Structure 1
């Protein structure tokens, strides 16, 4: 009886047949380069994720737009009911009446209520009561979203814009640099680098290789870290030229995991390097220098390199 042998995959859950030239699985900002088509409208909606993930400018823009739309809708309802059913409305033109109804709506939705304008009949009171309830719910939701944005753990790790193929001891090494520009402390930092490359120049199938690193884990991460993959005889890059790696449409996929002391949670960071983003025969400049009784690092020079002849 033939025993079944479980096959081990290194593809990270990415498509092994995405062999198109110029294909990139992971963007530089860590987002996946995947477009999902023909997804039902309600299946692709994720309001909470969108609101906590978008930029602060867009977030406040969405809140402001929602606030004005609600007031415009309710101001229109008050005009339909009739401004004669609201006390204190002094406007004589439709525009003046709409403006006063709009600001009355703003006072009602925030439960502020200056008392100058008040509803008189049943319809106006029902609209005002509905608006005040909606205002309470909307502001509670906005508060929750604000808290979600502030409490969301994320790693703001900065990557060098390019990698290098540089001399490393008596061989060569694939290298890139990372640094934590924030003042929060990251500990137990682990890194995983996977090489994705076409099986051959004509193939649509991609092979994935987990690259062995000089150091896969550091306990503390207060300074800049140069991550090195030694290109020895067991490396999939051994004896590969720059042109061969480019023709193989190589992509180096990086994932970093760390424990963030501020959030007391594990955070992740992702990025990638394409073959065209590798500088051959260059080495990163050493940036750490003495500063008083400690050290200083010029983070703006994370991409600084100098020429260095590769080992044969």
Structure 2
């Protein structure tokens, strides 16, 4: 009993570790880590715009708040220094005829409030710059220009983060599993994809990459070797009318990497099928890419997808997403090679002989003697 439980636990851990060893997760994120990068991390500051956009929201909001609070406080210190140097503060006991650089700055707090009012253009009118101090005028101009730059950059980064086409990709979903069954008399690998919005993706294109470890004839081991996988849709794989869920399929012919796989051996294979969907968002005209991946445990041999589109009594078409990833077992050849052999055998039977190289020729003679 103990040995049985240990074997089950070991197999569970092995299967769990194998499921995690995937380059692309189901939601399209790439699980890859860069190590020993020779270039300094300061090179990311050169492309600061992309760096800010790629940050997570918690870091982006931290930078957003810190940029404004930091600039307000920094210029508040500068305004306080101007008032201190010009001896405008109450501790210097200025005379009645004394004209300060900035009216009503009595300390660091009031200097901070004036900095905030200047940069965000509130202008309450209680504190203002006078014409007696050129330093204050220059500082006012400099803070106004820098405030516009900070405001434009940070607000633009927030807007760009919200409107990125990456968020549109979350409304495109793939089936949980891929299935292998006959379609049109051919053995095919089928995947279902759906658009959860009524707005279309313009110029959609679907393709795939099979990632596996290969060994070249020279003995070189290539990890994550990429093999192109062509997918076909009944309406064509270009300019799809992507208003309802589509079933894309890959024909397993002699040129397919799945040709030498069988129902009994597919689980022993080590590969990852990555599927891509490229298109243009109709609302924003921004390009969008959706991707997902399938490992051998997620490829079901001998199944097809259940129908999900029906027509109501009112004449409307209804899509039931409850059956989106539901599969139904069907009769399927256990390998593509067997299907092709079966077709060749049937073709030979129609010819009336088994060996095309063997033909019995009979010569007719008319010299019959009576």
State TM-score, norm by structure 2.
0.63
Which of 256, 263, 271 is 2:292 aligned to?
271
Deviation at 1:112, TM superposition (A): 2.3
Deviation at 1:69, TM superposition (A): 1.8
Superimposed CA distance per residue, residues 44-98 of structure 1 (whole angstroms, 9 cap, x where no aligned partner) = 23222233455667645532332122112222333444472643346xxxxxx44
Residue 188 of structure 2: aligned partner: 173
1:253 equivalenced with 2:274 (yes/no): yes
CA distance in 1, matches of 2:265, 2:32: 26
Residue 40 of structure 1: aligned partner: 40
Residues 1-312 of structure 1 mapped to structure 2, 5 A cutoff: 24-36=22-34, 37-45=37-45, 46-54=47-55, 59-81=60-82, 82=84, 84=89, 86-89=102-105, 97-119=107-129, 121-145=133-157, 148-149=160-161, 153=165, 156=169, 158-160=172-174, 162-169=176-183, 172-199=187-214, 204-206=221-223, 207-215=225-233, 216-241=237-262, 244-245=265-266, 247-264=268-285, 266-291=287-312, 292-299=314-321, 302-308=324-330, 310-312=332-334
CA distance in 1, matches of 2:165, 2:54: 11
Deviation at 1:110, TM superposition (A): 1.5
CA distance in 2, matches of 1:111, 1:276: 60
- Partner SS, residue 217 of structure 1: coil
When structure 1 is superposed on structure 2, of 72-81 and 50-59 the one drifting more is 50-59
Q: 1:107 to 1:262 in 2, by over 3 A?
A: same
CA distance in 1, matches of 2:43, 2:263: 44
Deviation at 1:221, TM superposition (A): 0.7
Flag the structure with higher strand content. 1
Deviation at 1:135, TM superposition (A): 0.8
Residue 356 of structure 2: aligned partner: none
CA distance in 1, matches of 2:121, 2:264: 67
Q: 1:41 to 1:211 in 2, by over 3 A?
A: closer
The number of residue pairs the alignment matches comes to 285
- Partner SS, residue 210 of structure 1: strand
Q: Which runs of 5+ in 1 are unaligned?
A: 1-20, 91-96
Q: Which runs of 5+ in 2 are unaligned?
A: 1-17, 90-99, 335-370
Q: Which has the larger radius of gyration?
A: 2
Q: 1:101 to 1:274 in 2, by over 3 A?
A: farther
Q: Does the CA-based 8 Å contact 1:153-1:267 persist in structure 2? A: yes
Superimposed CA distance per residue, residues 280-308 of structure 1 (whole angstroms, 9 cap, x where no aligned partner) = 44433322122432212244653333444
Flag the structure with higher helix content. 2
Q: Does the CA-based 8 Å contact 1:176-1:228 persist in structure 2? A: yes
Deviation at 1:183, TM superposition (A): 3.1
- Partner SS, residue 121 of structure 2: coil
